[in-house]
Structure 1
Amino acid sequence: MEIGQARLNNPFLNKGTAFTMAERQTYGLIGLLPPRVKTIEEQAAEIYALYQTKDSQIEKRHLLMEVFNTNRTLFFYLMEMHINEFMPIVYDPVIAEAIEQYNERYLKPQDAVYLNVDHPELIETSLKNGANGRDIRLIVVSDAQGILGIGDWGVNGVDISVGKLMVYTAAAGIDPAQVLPISIDAGTDNEQLLNDPNYLGQRHHRISGSTYFDFIDQFVTSVEKLFPNSLLHFEDFGRGTAAKILDQYQDRILTFNDDIQGTGIIVLAGVLGALKIAKQDLVDQKFLSFGAGTAGTGIAKMLYQELLRQGLTPDEAKKHFYLVDKQGLLFDDTEGLTDKQKAFTRQRSEFDNDADLTDLKTIVQTVQPTVLIGTSTVHNAFTEDVIKAMAQHCERPIIFPISNPTKKIEADPVDLIKWTQGRALVAAGIPVDDFDYQGVSYRFGQANNALIYPGVGVGALAVQAEKIDDEMLAAAAHALSNLVDSTESGAPVLPPVSQLRQFSKVVATAVAQSAIDQGIAAPQYHDASQAVADFVWEAKY
């Protein structure tokens, strides 16, 4: 039992001024705190009042991180009270600024583990030190090579791992004492960091090839040994590594890649929600993905698998997809294709040789998509001309500019409504205020993975699933889309972040039930709702 200053310095046990007099006696805290005993409600009100005095979003985040670093229970109590307001501050989009300023603002490691590819012999020791005897059930690990919207940020990307775990707890209720954020420092190709005297990571270019993948394998093996009941969540790995790692381990351990699977689920859920509003069928849609990296190909795969579940053959389903990347529309003879892109390429014989299929407007005019998804990080790529070209051939265009942060989004959702005279069904990767247009209040769904991955992870953990498979992911997407209100004009295609806690439970239950139905849950679990309820932690003293 930790007593005295050790207890006050342990964020998992600290209550600050809320320690009762009896607790102060028991834990050796007499004389170490002001005499007044406050309730968690009083503490939260005090912190929130201070939060409101901060002028900038980054300063607001800095204050909340101070609370996080000292008192996890109070932090998550605040998060639950103000989740709609705090989500953009503690995670996306403000986290991008925090990552870029990580070296200058570094104060504490936030209970993260920093692994160095140059020293694989230290993996197990590092993990033991980070866990410090805790029962770790959830790990988020990133090598920060491909942070959506800002790219390679080396060891600074540890904030992504910390932030993802915050959302897991705030949204779905995993015990914050059972999580472990991890940074894998494989070097960085970001010259700004390499030339920054304050940079806290390894000052060399990224390690790749067998040395890198051998390190990943040693890491996974150590996690299996030390934390056999944990979920290993991979986050923001690069285009050349993310899919390979997922393919290697997804049938071996309980693992999840948010950029590939999470983005795919949230877009599938959003498309299903939009089709519910439009009263259309998935099998009648044409999908154009602008941006065919890890996220873009993951989205295509998720939509493709749903078409198969709805009865199409593989050849029929593939015909619904058009992937556009830096080279333009991707063909089977395009140079530099990744394995994941090759599954969705087109043949040049399908098109007029005179068409310029490197220009987005021309591609849209030629393909006539009904669903346009942006993961390109090319700001304002969805121009008025592009959108109007799409709307000419589509009654209810479904348009998801989901790149973030704001400076990377493909189009302003408000403009999409204007350019289509209110016909577009829109979700964005950033929070967007309601917009009144021609007598209708349009609410924009946020295609933020935070709406889906916490429920997926907690659902799998609650029934000790052997793995997270495609059926569980589909169950999550359908559970989320079923919450969309299709009867109200201007309704969002995804439920609002303000209801995150409630619908994360719905998603978790659907995922747990899918695992039970498939026989890949632990045999003692039969009631998914009860299993999820028993697993969830609450922020209270």
Structure 2
Amino acid sequence: MANFSYVHEPDGSYTLRIAARGREVLTNPLCNFGTAFTRQQRIDLNVNGLLPSNVVTIDQQLKRVYSQYQGESDALAKYVFLNTMQDRNETLFYRLLTEHLEEMLPIVYTPTIGKAIETYSHWYHRPRGIFLSIDDPDGIEPALRSYGHSSEDVDLVVVTDSEGILGIGDQGVGGVAIAVGKLGVYTAAAGIHPSRALPVVLDVGTDNIDLLNDETYLGYRHARVRGARYDEFVDRFVQAIQTMYPHAMIHWEDFGAGNAHRILDKYRDEVCTFNDDIQGTAAVVVAAILAAVRRSGQKLANQRIVVHGAGTAGIGIADLLVQRMVNRGIPREQALSCFYGLGSLGLLRVGVKMRDFQEPYARSAEELAGWELDTPGKVELADVVRNVHPTIMIGTSAQAGAFTQKIVKDVASHCEHPILMPLSNPTRKAEALPADLLEWTDGRALIATGSPFEPVHFNGTTYTIAQANNALVFPGLGLGVAACRASRVSDSMILAAAEAVAKVVTSREPGASLLPRIDKLRAVSARVAIAVAKQAQTDGLATVELANPVQDIHERMWSPDYPKVEVV
């Protein structure tokens, strides 16, 4: 048998069976309790004498490591501290993260993880994750097998090819850290047991010339492989996961715009798969929009929606909003007509080059014939705002300051409560700052952002700024899929997740956030999981029927406590 294994008991608890002895016990983060091992456990596992003599509780350990964390000099140092701690004692790491989730989420996830990925090859000290290379496709299954999991042991695989990391682009093999970070959030927020999830990076090369010329870079030193060879490699990976872990959901993370939609469309009807940048971002933004529309007393179908940055994320948001309208009886063409998407060549319109997934949103030449334009032949954001009078502006452009004072004031002059969402990450790429948006709209704007912002005080009111953080959606979605062993992830399951998040927000007080607080993340994740599992059942995609969804979801949520130990 393996040197250790976790057994999920019928009551929802876990038993850790350990066959390892001595130092091997202390070097495995999933079975190392450190100074919390009891005296008898130390004797049975042959670690007596390898630890300080005093036996402490996990709460005492927590106080010590939190004090150490607070002593780190900056955000990146805190990230490295937590990373090292996860490599030493995973249960204690998750206990610390869970109890301080609101404080630490920006460290283990956005925005700090972006800095960590940029310097991955410099601070790297211990491998975490599975590294699969396009130069060794025959090594895919052996590498997966090296983790020692059986076909029943894996609920989730997070995979990236690192081309579209956050707002910083191609980061080569360093993108493995985003997969590790995502799984950390799955565990802390939704209780996915860390032993049941795999982080994977597909090393297909990099077009980042700085990395190729960095002598410390740890990935393959050649340009990013594209075309048929890339597709064959991805397909071989998908088939390997299907064969080895047939119940696992494949979570695609930070693939480039040219591949993200294409890969999702290829596999979404074949395997259980989910793209967080497309579907997760869409779900959390839709949740914020639903809350905002409800607060403003309007109907979604009556909105005029501008998507500035109509790429992978932006079109994903639009698609889910269209689906919501269609589900409410609005004809699809009418729903599409509510949207004005802008890409690198301005407004998406017939005759302008665009990707396949953007084409449904192209406006006709006839419609634009009477528009007043700043520059003939070009249709930019200011032109769209002037001619359309939007009620919602979504920013996924990574163009800092794109929502200018003039543009925002134009929007606000035709709308009582404009819904403004500068979503681009990191903060330096945000389309506008919340404080400016509130000043330019006299406090009337309903705001959600991509990066976290401190509350804004304006005209005697404190405005809590909603962060459209995917962490409000994807952990619960993964938990719901795992609980009912869904065979696919449907659009209606994504929409159910968005609506579950929106329903948590009930306050209509001026300045209240459009989204739940991060410190409520475990409860939100549970609600999302229940909604997703129920929708999977309705869609005929659940292969396990949950007799009592609330209890079943609750029992699946692992809490970071040291489990019962069975020495074998």
Pairwise TM-score range, normalised by the shorter structure: over 0.9
Q: Equivalent of 1:415, from 436, 441, 453?
A: 436
Question: Is residue 298 of structure 1 aligned with residue 319 of structure 2?
Answer: no
- 1:242 aligned to 2:263? no
| Corresponding residue for residue 16 of structure 2 | none
Deviations 1:314-348 (A, max 9, x none): 1111110100011111102102x111111111112
Aligned to 1:430: 451
Distance in 1, Cα, partners of 2:559 & 2:417: 42
Whether the 8 Å CA contact 2:371–2:387 is kept in 1: the answer is: no
Inter-partner Cα distance in structure 2 for 1:531 and 1:117: 40
**One-letter code of the match for 2:521?**
L
Q: Aligned match of 1:349 in 347, 366, 369?
A: 366
Aligned ranges for residues 498-517 of structure 1 at < 5 Å? 498-517=519-538
The corresponding residue for 1:453 is: 474
Taking the TM superposition and a 5 Å limit, the aligned residue runs for 1:312-351 are 312-335=330-353, 337-351=354-368
- In the alignment, which residue of structure 2 is the partner of 1:32? 50
How far the C-alpha of 1:130 sits from its partner, in A, is 3.1
Which residue does 1:148 correspond to in 2? 166
C-alpha contact (below 8 Å) 1:143/1:186 kept by paired residues: yes
Quote the offset at 1:52 in angstroms.
Answer: 1.2
TM-score, with normalisation over the residues of structure 1?
Answer: 0.98
Give CA deviations for 1:1-48 in whole Å, capped at 9, x if unaligned: 112111111111111111110110111111110001111111111011
> Once the 2 structures are TM-superposed, how far is the Cα of residue 310 of structure 1 from its aligned partner?
1.4
- Cα gap change, 1:452/1:524 in structure 2, threshold over 3 Å: closer, same or farther? closer
Q: State the Cα RMSD in Å.
A: 1.2
The equivalent of 1:270 in structure 2 is: 288
* 8 A Cα contact 1:331 1:345, kept in partner: yes
Report SS of the residue matched to 1:494. coil
The residue aligned with 2:307 is 289
What is the identity, as a one-letter code, of the residue corresponding to 1:99?
I
Q: Distance in 1 between matches of 2:553 and 2:148?
A: 24
- Structure 1 equivalent of residue 4 of structure 2: none
Paired residues of 2:485 and 2:544 also in contact (CA < 8 A): no
The separation in 2 between residues aligned to 1:520 and 1:105, in whole angstroms, is: 43
Q: For residue 189 of structure 2, what is the aligned residue in structure 1?
A: 171
Gaps of 5+ in 2: 1-18, 563-568
Q: What is the CA–CA distance in structure 1 between the aligned matches of 2:148 and 2:384, rounded to whole Å?
A: 51
Say which is worse superposed, 348-357 or 197-206, in terms of deviation.
348-357
Counterpart for residue 71 of structure 2: 53
2:206 to 183, 188, 192: 188
The separation in 2 between residues aligned to 1:362 and 1:9, in whole angstroms, is 61
Indicate conservation of the 8 Å contact 2:464/2:512, yes or no. yes
Would you say 1:117 and 2:134 are equivalent positions?
yes
1:15 aligns with 2:33: yes
The equivalent residue for 2:244 is: 226
Q: Deviations over 1:237-265 (max 9, x none)?
A: 11111111111111211111001111111
CA distance in 1, matches of 2:545, 2:466: 37
State the one-letter code of the partner of 2:240. S
Matching residue of 2:81: 63
Letter in 1 for 2:270: R
Paired with 1:354 and 1:284, the residues of 2 have a C-alpha distance of 23
Contact 1:388 1:419 in 2 (8 A): yes
Deviation at 1:132, TM superposition (A): 5.5
2:427 pairs with 1:395? no
Residues in 2 aligned to 1:403 and 1:487: alpha-carbon distance in whole angstroms = 26
Shift of 1:354: 5.0
Match of 1:129 in 2: 146
C-alpha offsets along residues 263-297 of structure 1, whole Å, 9 cap, x if unaligned? 11111101001112111110110111110111111
Q: Tell me the matched-pair count.
A: 539
Native 8 Å contact 2:114 2:166 kept in 1:
no
Percent of aligned positions with the same letter in both sequences? 43
Q: Look up the SS of the partner of 1:114 in the other structure.
A: strand
Per the TM alignment, residue 359 of structure 1 is displaced from its structure 2 partner at its CA by 2.9
1:482 is aligned to 503
User: Does structure 2 retain, via aligned residues, the 8 Å contact 1:463–1:531?
Assistant: no
In 2, Cα distance between the equivalents of 1:13 and 1:328? 54
Whole-angstrom distance in 2 between the partners of 1:419 and 1:225: 56
Q: CA deviation at 1:131?
A: 4.2
Amino acid at match of 1:455: G
Counterpart of 1:122, as a letter, is G
Normalised to the residue count of structure 2, the TM-score between the two structures is 0.93
- Please give the secondary structure, in 2, of the residue aligned with 1:343: helix
Supply the AA of the counterpart residue of 2:335: A
Unpaired runs of at least 5, structure 1: none
Looking at structure 1, the residues matched to 544 and 216 of structure 2 have their Cα atoms a distance apart, in angstroms, of 51
Deviation at 1:137, TM superposition (A): 1.6
Q: What SS is found at the alignment partner of 1:394?
A: coil
2:93 match: 75
User: How far apart, CA to CA, are the structure 2 residues paired with 1:257 and 1:131?
Assistant: 26
| In 2: Cα distance, 1:520 partner to 1:341 partner | 28
8 Å Cα contact 2:537/2:545 also seen in 1: no
Determine helix, strand or coil for the equivalent of 1:270.
Answer: helix
Give the Cα–Cα distance (whole angstroms) in 1 for the partners of residues 217 and 26 of structure 2: 31
Q: 1:396 is paired with a residue of what secondary structure?
A: coil
Match of 1:136, as an amino acid?
Answer: V
CA distance in 2, matches of 1:117, 1:423: 52
- CA–CA distance in 1 between the matches of 2:81 and 2:166? 25
Question: Match of 2:461, as an amino acid?
Answer: V
Instruction: Measure how far apart 1:353 and its partner are.
Output: 5.7
- Contact preservation (8 Å) 2:160, 2:255: yes
Q: Aligned equivalents of 1:371 and 1:485: distance in 2? A: 21
Helix, strand or coil: the match of 2:200?
strand
Q: CA deviation at 1:418?
A: 1.1
